[in-house]
């Protein structure tokens, strides 16, 4: 089995996330698939932003004509102040430029602030259609229950956009969400591709909370053997955070070619589900403490040991900010496995 390398918001370790240059660079660096996050505008256009609050990833604050749009909202229990995509039309949003979300950590990416505009889903699909080789799409549907309550039904918007661009039923397509309801609705609309249920380490899904309140099942409840088998009847896979994937796993030596045992991978595979994980990042800030090197959080630690250990769990796909590093780690694992069996 070959682990799929998915460019997390494009090559977001090198360029501002969800920018055209981040997507183009990810393809150049060898990504098997691109992951965009989908949020809507006031007029129902799907744009590519990690969150609907965009003050940290665009130059919206530099537009005095929109100063009065700054507001405070509660999104899935979090109180946020800023500017929100659903308060702008597409014609307004397209005037904003992208910015690096973590400029102190990634100054090289921040050097490209202002070079690109916000993109729509259809812009990325055109880019993928024009790519020099087949590149998949792993689209995350954000905050479906929240947007449904705001009169912006995400299943309809996503289904219609995929149909209009010829991507409905495309073999390159995967759709994921932290909410099962919107995935089921997309399935009933015949969007095709693979449907993947995202799971946090803790807490409960927003659609479950909307129905069950404090008695909503937790994500952990949905990782029991019985729950995984039930999920396999509806979806192609689950996607879990690295902490969940690597729970109980010690740091493994890079030159050790043996598989790494991950409880969730083994049980999900046994239930008939694929497993994906997020997000591989090489900076010390994101690595387990034993793998950090030097005193700078922005410095690179022993990412090779971490990345290869994750891949050796047999996980079906990894999300990575630095596409080239994940591709290299996969090659290292494959090379060492070949040496062992030769």
Residue 290 lies in a domain: yes
Domain holding 25: CATH number?
3.20.20.190
State yes or no: is 50 an active-site residue.
Answer: yes
Active-site residue, from 50, 143, 269, 322: 50
d(CA 210, CA 182) in angstroms, rounded, equals 13
Out of 8, 18, 269, 322, the active site residue is: 8
pLDDT of residue 128: 98
**What is the average pLDDT across 99-122?**
98
The two tokens of residue 87 are 């308060």
pLDDT, greater one: 315 or 342: 315
Q: List CB contacts of 50: < 8 A, sequence separation 6 or more.
A: 9, 17, 18, 37, 57, 101, 142
**pLDDT for residue 341:** 52
- At 171-188, the pLDDT tens digits run 999 999 999 999 999 999
Domain membership of residue 197 as a residue range: 4-52+120-341
Task: Write out the H or E segment, with its range, that includes residue 275.
Answer: strand 274-280
Q: Give domain status of residue 319, yes or no.
A: yes
Confidence of residue 328 (pLDDT cuts 50, 70, 90): very high
Query: What are 225-280's pLDDT values in tens digits?
Result: 999 999 999 999 999 999 999 998 865 554 567 789 999 999 999 999 999 999 99
Query: In the prediction, which pLDDT does 342 show?
Result: 47
Number of structural domains in the chain: 1
What is the DSSP pairing of strand 33-35 with strand 173-177? Answer: unpaired
Q: Active site includes 8?
A: yes
Residue 196 placed within a domain: yes
pTM for the structure as a whole = 0.96
Does 69 reside within a domain? no
pLDDT at 322 over 70: yes
Asked if residue 78 belongs to a domain, the reply is no
Q: What is the arithmetic mean of pLDDT over 26-32?
A: 98
Give me the residues paired with residue 136 across strands. Answer: 33
Residue 105: inside a domain? no
pLDDT of residue 215: 98
Which neighbouring-strand residues pair with 6? 33, 319
pLDDT band at 336 (very low <50, low <70, confident <90, very high): confident
Q: What is the mean pLDDT of residues 27-33?
A: 98
Examine residue 32 and state whether it is found in any structural domain, yes or no. Answer: yes
How much of the chain, in percent, has pLDDT values that exceed 70? 96
Residue 101 lies in a domain: no
- Looking at residue 234, its pLDDT comes to 97
Q: Which residues are CB-contacts of 57 (< 8 A; sequence separation ≥ 6)?
A: 16, 17, 18, 49, 50, 51, 98, 99, 101
Q: How far apart are CA 138 and CA 128, in angstroms?
A: 12
């Amino acid at each position: 089995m070959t682990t799929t390398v998915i460019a997390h918001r494009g090559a977001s370790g090198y360029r501002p996330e969800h920018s055209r240059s981040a997507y183009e660079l990810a393809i150049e660096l060898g990504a098997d698939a691109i992951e965009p996050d989908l949020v809507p505008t006031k007029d129902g256009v799907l744009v590519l932003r990690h969150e609907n609050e965009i003050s940290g990833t665009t130059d919206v604050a530099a537009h005095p004509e929109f100063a009065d749009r700054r507001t405070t909202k509660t999104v899935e229990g979090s109180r946020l102040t800023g500017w929100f995509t659903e308060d702008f039309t597409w014609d307004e949003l397209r005037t904003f430029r992208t910015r690096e979300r973590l400029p102190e950590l990634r100054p090289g990416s921040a050097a490209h602030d202002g070079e690109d505009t916000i993109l729509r889903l259809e812009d990325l699909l055109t880019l993928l259609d024009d790519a020099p080789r087949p590149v998949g799409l792993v689209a995350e549907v954000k905050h479906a229950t929240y947007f449904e309550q705001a009169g912006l039904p995400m299943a309809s918007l996503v289904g219609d956009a995929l149909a209009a661009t010829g991507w409905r039923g495309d073999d390159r397509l995967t759709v994921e969400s932290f909410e099962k309801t919107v995935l089921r609705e997309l399935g009933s609309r015949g969007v095709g591709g693979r449907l993947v249920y995202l799971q946090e380490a803790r807490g409960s899904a927003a659609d479950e909370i909307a129905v069950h309140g404090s008695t909503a099942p937790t994500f952990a409840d949905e990782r029991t053997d019985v729950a995984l088998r039930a999920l396999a009847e509806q979806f192609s896979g689950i996607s879990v955070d690295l902490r969940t994937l690597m729970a109980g796993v010690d740091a493994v030596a890079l030159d050790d070619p043996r598989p790494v045992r991950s409880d969730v991978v083994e049980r999900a595979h046994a239930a008939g589900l694929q497993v994906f994980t997020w997000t591989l990042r090489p900076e010390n800030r994101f690595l387990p403490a034993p793998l950090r090197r030097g005193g700078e959080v922005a410095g690179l630690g022993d990412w090779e040991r971490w990345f290869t250990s994750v891949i050796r769990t047999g996980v079906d796909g990894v999300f990575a900010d630095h596409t080239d590093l994940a591709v290299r780690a996969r090659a290292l694992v494959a090379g060492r496995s070949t040496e062992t069996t030769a």
